[in-house]
């Protein structure tokens, strides 16, 4: 019940326009503190342990982002990413096939580069193509973010995997964490294919909220 209440508060804050997705994370954290206090589970020791765990997980992720950002800059300056995208788009083929190639590139980059760096490198190339081909930008945005989500689960630079590694017991091997993410990666791919084939899955709710 507490988790359901927190989920409803976070979703409602975004659906009603009270908070942006990033701000909704703070709303969820605040709601968690309030619910924990109401249930008598908010202790000084528990709160300190939660802050310590958050600092450790966040620090590990920031170091990964720092290294991955450096790597992405090398790729960007060398022209490797731009050349890869140009090789896909210069053939003048079917726009749908080009879109599939763009999504495949995003998934491929997710294996090696963090999501912020991937967006900085690809969005300037991708958005003009989306507008040129006349694709629905909301639909493409959902597909794009689903690819980013998959990148969070793909080793060796899956940030969620390293976040789990930082809080998991030491007796759990890193390879076991990577292996446990496989079903979620498969479900993410299935969801990505479903949204690609039926764009209404991504567009009906935003149109409803307009």
Span 103-117, pLDDT tens digits: 888 888 877 777 777
Residue 47 counted as domain residue: no
The answer to whether residues 11 and 100 belong to one domain is no
Residue 61 counted as domain residue: yes
Which pTM does this prediction carry? 0.61
Quote the distance between the C-alpha of residue 24 and its chain's center: 15
CA distance readout (Å), 139 to 135, 172, 185, 193: 8, 39, 20, 12
Residue 102 counted as domain residue: yes
The answer to whether residues 86 and 185 belong to one domain is yes
Domain housing 38: 1-42
Residue 48 counted as domain residue: no
The answer to whether residues 125 and 94 belong to one domain is yes
Residue 190 counted as domain residue: yes
> For the CA atoms of 155, 159, 164, 167, what is the dihedral angle to 10 degrees?
130
Mean pLDDT of the chain: 77
> Span 100-105, mean pLDDT?
86
The answer to whether residues 71 and 37 belong to one domain is no
């Amino acid at each position: 019940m507490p988790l359901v209440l927190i989920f409803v508060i976070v979703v409602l804050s975004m659906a009603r326009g009270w908070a942006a997705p990033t701000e909704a994370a703070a709303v969820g954290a605040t709601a968690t503190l309030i619910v924990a206090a109401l249930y008598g589970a908010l202790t000084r020791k528990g709160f300190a342990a939660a802050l310590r765990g958050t600092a450790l997980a966040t620090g590990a992720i920031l170091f990964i982002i720092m290294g991955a950002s450096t790597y992405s800059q090398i790729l960007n300056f060398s022209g490797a990413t731009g050349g890869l995208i140009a090789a896909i788009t210069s053939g003048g083929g079917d726009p749908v096939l080009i879109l599939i190639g763009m999504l495949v590139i995003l998934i491929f980059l997710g294996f090696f580069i963090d999501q912020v760096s991937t967006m900085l490198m690809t969005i300037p190339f991708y958005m003009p193509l989306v507008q040129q081909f006349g694709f629905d930008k909301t639909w493409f945005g959902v597909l794009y973010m689903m690819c980013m989500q998959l990148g969070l689960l793909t080793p060796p630079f899956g940030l969620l995997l390293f976040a789990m590694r930082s809080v998991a017991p030491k007796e759990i091997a890193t390879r076991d964490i990577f292996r446990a993410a496989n079903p979620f990666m498969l479900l993410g791919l299935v969801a990505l294919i479903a949204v690609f084939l039926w764009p209404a899955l991504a567009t009906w709710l935003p149109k409803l909220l307009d």
